[in-house]
Amino acid sequence: MFESAEIGHAIDKETYDAEEPALREALLEAQFELQQQKRFPVIVLINGIEGAGKGETVKLLNEWMDPRLIEVRTFDQQTDEELARPPAWRYWRMLPAKGRMGIFFGNWYSQMLQGRVHGLFKDAVLDQAINQSERFEKMLCDEGALIFKFWFHLSKKQMKARLKALADDPLHSWRISPLDWQQSRTYDKFVKYGERVLRRTSRDYAPWHVIEGVDVHYRSLAVGKILLEGLQSALKRSRIHPAKVNAAPLPIHVDQLNLLDSLDLSQRLDKEDYEEQLITEQARFSGLMRDKRMRQFALIAVFEGNDAAGKGGAIRRVAAALDPRQYSIVPIAAPTEEERAQPYLWRFWRHIPAKGKFTVFDRSWYGRVLVERVEELCPPADWLRAYSEINDFEEQISESGVIVVKFWLAIDKETQLERFESREDIPFKRFKITEDDWRNRDKWDAYRAAVGDMVDRTSTEISPWTLVEANDKRWARVKVLRTINLALEAAFEKSDKHDKKAKKRKS
């Protein structure tokens, strides 16, 4: 894989001096066009061998181009705010907006390579990390991002010579910190696992470019030209990643029977039972949230449902069990300008709770496969891929201890009509009913189909959907609280078992 980056590529100064001005000018032009179009972000990943010119090249790019449109990001030590959240959070928060360029040093690849080289984990875990990166990048590209991945390479001999030269230069010596690199053992491992990573993550939408790092003229021109070509062709394309999806449309249930039909919407609770059960579940919830084990977890509750199904009321009963300092509620409406300049899931990543905290999403990332699908706010290709993107997202956050509980509050069409009408009569409830609600009602069946597909495709072992019979608000509220409590208890139990096993192994 690195063979042709060890053959001594070089370009003489004369050729370089002749080519550099035009390249520079063209890069500036492309960068300006990028900013004007504001259609997509550019993400540049910088990896490879120490001493192969990574830092110097990034510095040069900043000199060639307009540094005001470039964000150079490093990811060293995690801050405590980052440690309290899933690992990917630190990358999400640093993504460049559409029209801008982000250069990521010390990105997800460096993290996995360091871990493997230093024996923190074995190949299986490395492969998991590789797989996650692949999905992450695929999603970014599908969302329009243009990704460049550069691997700066040196042969072992070249590396040793270069590190020595750098160390002798007082202006540069401060930068050579890891003595580590001088040891050939590390080099061999790094190259070995580097190859594994490159092999598996070089994809048509985000290929790796291996750059031989010895000759400054060669590597500068090579990187510059790859960037330029990629930028120019992306700027010309009418859409960055045209919807090439040839997938068949989602199957229609042959018998017209929908998952929602299986719900018994007549289930109800009388006032007395309700009050007793509500208080019991609220106290249980309050206790669970104060449990010491909660410190290793975070909780997310997602509320979706028909209009007027009682989401707001259910959320209030959940919140009422807690001190307001323990939770935050995120109402999801139309995205803001800054959110529109980012991949779809960015605006949800912003609100991922830290360890020990609880976030309620009043509507959520499922908007893409519900309202956006039904109202045709995005092309089918976008909502079709959203199912697996959402599953990936929930898997990622679950793995780092976020418990995700998802509710669909279901009512029937008659109940909705009654509630709409009564809302219009009560002054302080009139704001709850809008023109949109009546319009959505006309699309009852389309929403029904979308809900069926959503549950079929995103109800997973990690994060199952709970369908809540909500014709009776009391029934719904108690079921919501009970489901959350069961989820917390299951998570705590699992962690207890895990702790016991760990103790046994030790003793």
Residue ranges binding a second copy (CB under 8 A): 25-26, 28-29, 32, 36, 55, 58-59, 62-63, 66-72, 74, 79-81, 103, 105, 171, 174-175, 283, 286, 290, 312, 315-316, 319-320, 323-325, 328-329, 331, 336-338, 362, 427-428, 431
Looking at beta carbons only, is 67 or 178 nearer to a second copy? 67
- To a second copy, the closest distance from the beta carbon of 211 in angstroms equals 18
- Given the complex with a second copy, which of 22 and 245 has the nearer CB atom? 22
Q: What is the distance, to the nearest Å, from the Cα of residue 158 to the centroid of all Cα atoms in its chain? A: 38
Residue with smaller CB distance to a second copy, 9 or 93: 93
Shortest CB 325 distance to a second copy, Å: 5
Q: How far is the CB of 118 from a second copy (least distance, A)?
A: 22
Taking the complex as a whole, how short is the minimal distance between the CB of residue 319 and a second copy, in angstroms?
5
Burial class (CB in 10 A: 0-12, 13-18, 19+), 236: exposed
Q: What are phi and psi of 380, to 5 degrees?
A: -50, -40
Count other C-beta atoms under 10 Å from residue 138's C-beta. Answer: 19
Whose Cβ is closer to a second copy: residue 26's or residue 345's? 26
Phi and psi at 338, nearest 5°, equal -65, -30
Q: In terms of CB distance, is 174 or 251 closer to a second copy?
A: 174
Shortest reach from residue 403's CB to a second copy, in Å: 21
C-alpha radius of gyration, the chain, whole number: 27
Least Å from the CB of residue 79 to a second copy: 5
Q: Which long-range contacts (CB under 8 A, 24 or more apart) does 79-83 make?
A: 81/354
Q: Which is nearer to a second copy, 84 or 410 (CB)?
A: 84
| In the complex, minimum distance from the CB of residue 296 to a second copy, in angstroms, rounded to a whole number | 18
In the complex with a second copy, the residue whose CB is nearer, 328 or 422, is: 328
Question: Number of H helices and number of E strands within the chain?
Answer: 19, 10
Q: Are 374 and 452 in contact (CB under 8 A)?
A: no
Please give the C-alpha separations between residue 398 and each of 16, 296, 390, 393, in angstroms, as whole numbers: 51, 12, 12, 9
How is the beta sheet containing 298-305 ordered, strand by strand?
Answer: 327-331, 358-362, 298-305, 402-410, 465-469
230 close to 22: Cβ distance less than 8 angstroms: no
CA distance 486 to 132: 29
Q: Which is nearer to a second copy, 36 or 184 (CB)?
A: 36
Report CA-CA distances (Å) from 344 to 41, 107, 312, 382, 455: 13, 21, 24, 10, 20
Q: How far is the CB of 103 from a second copy (least distance, A)?
A: 7
